Amino acid sequence: MDLSKYKNVTYLDHPLLKHKITKLRDKNTPTNEFRTIVKEIAFIEGYEALRDLPTHLREVETPIEKTMQPSVSRKGICFVPILRAGLGMEDGMLELVPGATCGHIGLYRNEETHEPVEYYCKLPDDIANRHIYLIDPMLATGGSACGAVDILRRHGAKQISFICIIAAPEGVARFCEAHPDIPLYVGALDRELNDKAYICPGLGDCGDRIFGTVNKPHS
Ligand code: PRP
Ligand code: URA
């Protein structure tokens, strides 16, 4: 897929990020390690996505003298993970901005249609005044990401960015065509979706792997 036609996409290609995503893909990576790596990746991707974070000047006194220096305000932002798997990225984002407000949107995919079903939503009242960083490791059909953006817009959100770890070309196309104005950060772009709408090669079901709900064979 030629990503250059989508001006809103930032493809992150740092070798350390690629290394961590490879570990996530490995079916032998255990739950504890998987969780840690998802969090670390969120930190790396979030660092890039928050590049335009506004700063204000505040006075600080060094051992030498008083000076006005930039400081980040946590007030104008809100992190919104899409449950469940997005929760795995929340702590990584919060390491970047520890005092940030978080909203939560619960969506699961209908197994037959693969379209998202909403089951939870809690967002701050002043969402219109915040930059919303929507987070979810997987962009497959794009249904969940687009559904979450619709919910955010319904609640008044104006400025949104979306951060994912692995994307399928189908999801990128659907998202970018629906929301060319929303910056999209992608850690890996995979080949295609299979007939169950899983990303290939992907990493399997991300929520199951983060929360250990996948059925493991008895050893
Ligand atoms: C996963 C993932 C995304 C969605 C992506 O969630 O975390 O939200 O699938 O697929 P899409 O782009 O085709 O919508 P899932 O529905 O499996 O729910 P879970 O996180 O609760 O397991
Ligand atoms: N959701 C996942 O967790 N994995 C996929 O491959 C697609 C959707």
pLDDT in tens, 20-73: 999 999 999 999 999 999 999 999 999 999 999 999 999 999 999 999 999 998
Sign of CA dihedral 27, 29, 34, 38: negative
Q: Is the pLDDT of residue 85 over 90?
A: yes
Indicate if ligand 2 lies below 6 Å from the C-beta of 202.
yes
Map tokens 């700063």 to a residue.
55
The CA distance from 138 to 25, in Å, is 12
DSSP helix, strand, coil percent of the chain (3-state; round to 5): 35, 30, 35
State the distance from the centre of ligand 2 to the C-alpha of 199, rounded, in angstroms: 6
In this structure, are residues 24 and 37 in contact, taking their beta carbons and an 8 Å threshold?
yes
Of all ligands present, the nearest one to the C-alpha of 205 is 2
The answer to whether the CB of 168 is under 6 A from ligand 2 is no
**Residue 218: its pLDDT value, please?**
46
Is a pLDDT exceeding 90 seen at residue 217? no
| Rounded distance from Cα 138 to ligand 1 centre (Å) | 7
- Report which DSSP code applies to 98: T
* Segment among 74-78, 117-121, 139-143, 187-191 with least mean pLDDT: 74-78
Cβ atoms of 42 and 91 within 8 Å: the answer is yes
pLDDT (0 to 100) of residue 101: 97
pLDDT at 73 (0 to 100): 82
Taking residues 141-153, report their average pLDDT.
98
Q: Is the pLDDT of residue 97 over 70?
A: yes
Note the pLDDT of residue 214.
77
* Mean of pLDDT values over 197-216: 93
Q: What is the mean pLDDT of residues 168-195?
A: 98
- Residue 42 and residue 38: Cα distance in Å, rounded? 6
* Continuous H helices in the chain: 15-25, 31-49, 87-96, 143-154, 169-178, 206-211
- What's the count of helices (H) and strands (E) in the chain, helices before strands? 6, 13
* pLDDT at res. 75: 85
Which one of 113, 126, 154, 213 is the catalytic residue? 113
Given a cut of 70, whether residue 203 has pLDDT beyond it is yes
Residue 216, pLDDT > 70, answer: no
Provide the mean pLDDT of the chain.
96
Q: Are 189 and 172 in contact (CB under 8 A)?
A: yes
Residue 219 has what pLDDT? Answer: 37
- The DSSP output letter for 111 is T
Over range 156-171, report the average pLDDT.
98
- Report how far residue 192's alpha carbon sits from residue 209's, in angstroms, rounded to the nearest whole number: 20
DSSP string, 154-169: HTT--EEEEEEEEE-H
Query: What pLDDT sits at residue 74?
Result: 80
pLDDT confidence band for 215 (50 / 70 / 90): low
